[in-house]
Amino acid sequence: MKQVQDAVVDMYEKLPVPYGLVRFGVAPDHPEVKNCQDTFEEVAASPRFNYIGNVEVGTTLALSDLKPHYDAILFAYGASEDRRLGIPGEDLPGVYSAREFVGWYNGHPQFAHLKPELDQGECAVIVGHGNVALDVARILVSPLAQLRKTDIADHAVAALARSTITRVEVVGRRGPLQASYTVKEARELMQFDRVGFESAGLHKFYPENTKTLPRVQQRLADVLLKGSPVKAHDYKKRWQLSFMQSPHAMHVKKNRFGEPIGDRVHSIDFQKTEFVPGADPMSKDARVQLTDEIVTSEASMVFRSIGYKSTPLPGLSDLGVPFDERLGIIPNDAHGRVISPSAGPGNLSAGHLPGLYAVGWVKRGPTGVIVSTMMDAFTTADVIVQDWSASSPFLNGEKGRSASTGLGWDGVKDSVVAQGVTPVDWEAWKRIDKAERERGKEKGKVRLKFVDEEEMKVAAGLA
């Protein structure tokens, strides 16, 4: 909008409320991270921007119906699934994906009814060594008094108050120098009054002098090696990092005859790993291979936190857009132009599908923090402007800009409303926002989110 003075942008969101993972992913005890919403407020204030919430593209609104009314479509729909481990026992009761659990404590309508059983035992195992894994660990061991003040969902506070989990083991398949969590998140877990930290054999992964490591890894090493000041006899809860273990199978409890007792998860087996021959164990990219050694952890709950996954939007292929199932992305030229590898030989942009662009996790895969996602968005916006300025073909024919009806949302609104769907515009979202803040104030919280879509619509004055 800044660079093309007459550009109008319609943003479709499947939920009534905006902000994606900033609202439903970022941990409730990290409110400062959500300040990026202020920047978005400024964008939304433009009369050339329209927020259209509660409209799911691909289902409520077919891509082929959108196409005639726009010059360009930008895919920014993130990663709404997660990777699976593909091991026996993964679907046992008591096993959750971190994505579901995060959505649950953040009040995502889809996961409000998850009811994770936090009171079935003492040990939780989290598989994966990324920041999402540490977010989950922190929520499990955080003092409730601290969490209550955040915008965490009320149902999560109630369930965490009943939690019997006192031991959280976070297991990675490689070593600490290959972990993808960051120093701030590790440090936070060392700072709780009554939470201890254990990690047997951590020293063996590091050089004698950690100052020889690259700066980022050195800072993380310092935090992990220093550990928590909480002494064992002061532990109420403890968390542990385990390394070089790849998940192998999950099991229910068995009696002494080997017969199953109950149906929920009770333990998880890991296959120990070792660095592949020739790998440099100090390198972030060092690869590992499986050994024959199995170790078992007790687990009354297991969280798999091994990454999110994008999926193809229904109807993508109607626009000739391919989907890379392996990488979980819409193929693009790295700047954000959607490409069809079969559409043209030669350089990448030869296969550019006119008028189609991608950004964020569906463009790059499910990694990257808000800042990197924003930088990536600026790049994609720049290439759209570049293509527009160069009079490149856009949607709806070779001539591009004049070929679309130019109606945008007005061209499809009637068909959406005729399905009984109530679109939520920016003013309606602001009413939801205000109601959430007021509800929160009464409870000493920054906001109390609505977790039910109907409640959101009522607060918006739309139901």
Ligand X SMILES: Cc1cc2nc3c(=O)[nH]c(=O)nc-3n(C[C@H](O)[C@H](O)[C@H](O)COP(=O)(O)OP(=O)(O)OC[C@H]3O[C@@H](n4cnc5c(N)ncnc54)[C@H](O)[C@@H]3O)c2cc1C
Ligand Y SMILES: NC(=O)c1ccc[n+]([C@@H]2O[C@H](COP(=O)([O-])OP(=O)(O)OC[C@H]3O[C@@H](n4cnc5c(N)ncnc54)[C@H](OP(=O)(O)O)[C@@H]3O)[C@@H](O)[C@H]2O)c1
- Report which of 81, 80, 84 is spatially closest to residue 250, judged by C-alpha positions: 84
In whole angstroms, what is the distance from residue 20 CA to residue 32 CA? Answer: 16
CA distances from 53 to 9, 14, 60 (A): 14, 6, 12
Nearer to ligand X, 110 or 210 (CB): 110
Q: Establish whether 287 is an annotated binding residue.
A: no
Cβ–Cβ < 8 Å for 107, 24: yes
Residue 352 touching ligand Y (CB under 6 A):
no
CA end-to-end distance (rounded Å), the chain: 32
In whole angstroms, what is the distance from residue 222 CA to residue 229 CA? Answer: 13
Least distance CB 184 / ligand Y (angstroms): 7
Binding positions for ligand X, rule: CB under 6 A:
12-15, 20-22, 25-26, 30, 33, 56-58, 76-78, 80, 102, 132, 135, 308, 313, 360-361, 368-370, 373
Least distance CB 204 / ligand X (angstroms): 31
Residue 216 touching ligand Y (CB under 6 A):
no
Residue 247 touching ligand Y (CB under 6 A):
yes
**Residue in 206, 243, 308, 450 binding ligand Y, rule: CB under 6 A:** 308
**Residue in 18, 103, 107, 172 binding ligand Y, rule: CB under 6 A:** 172
- Report which of 364, 357, 251 is spatially closest to residue 297, judged by C-alpha positions: 251
Residue 328 touching ligand Y (CB under 6 A):
no
In whole angstroms, what is the distance from residue 359 CA to residue 335 CA? Answer: 9
What is the DSSP secondary-structure string of 411-447? GTHHHHHTTT---B-HHHHHHHHHHHHHHHHHTTSS-
Q: Establish whether 233 is an annotated binding residue.
A: no
**Residue in 20, 103, 130, 322 binding ligand Y, rule: CB under 6 A:** 130
Nearer to ligand Y, 63 or 170 (CB): 170
**Token digits of residue 305:** 């936190």
Least distance CB 143 / ligand X (angstroms): 20
To 5 degrees, how large is the angle CA 16–CA 454–CA 161?
95
**Residue in 161, 369, 375, 407 binding ligand Y, rule: CB under 6 A:** 369
Residue 101 touching ligand Y (CB under 6 A):
no
Nearer to ligand Y, 56 or 324 (CB): 324
Nearer to ligand X, 79 or 301 (CB): 79
Q: Establish whether 274 is an annotated binding residue.
A: no
Paired residues of 50 in beta bridges: 10
Binder of residue 337, out of ligand Y, ligand X, none (CB less than 5 to 8 A by kind): none
Give the DSSP H/E element, type plus range, for residue 359.
none
Q: Establish whether 122 is an annotated binding residue.
A: no
- Report which of 452, 461, 462, 459 is spatially closest to residue 432, judged by C-alpha positions: 459
**Residue in 53, 94, 107, 128 binding ligand Y, rule: CB under 6 A:** 128
Annotated binding site for NADP(+): 129-132, 173-174, 185, 368
Binding site for ligand Y (CB under 6 A): 85, 127-133, 135, 172-174, 178, 180, 185, 246-247, 305-308, 366-369
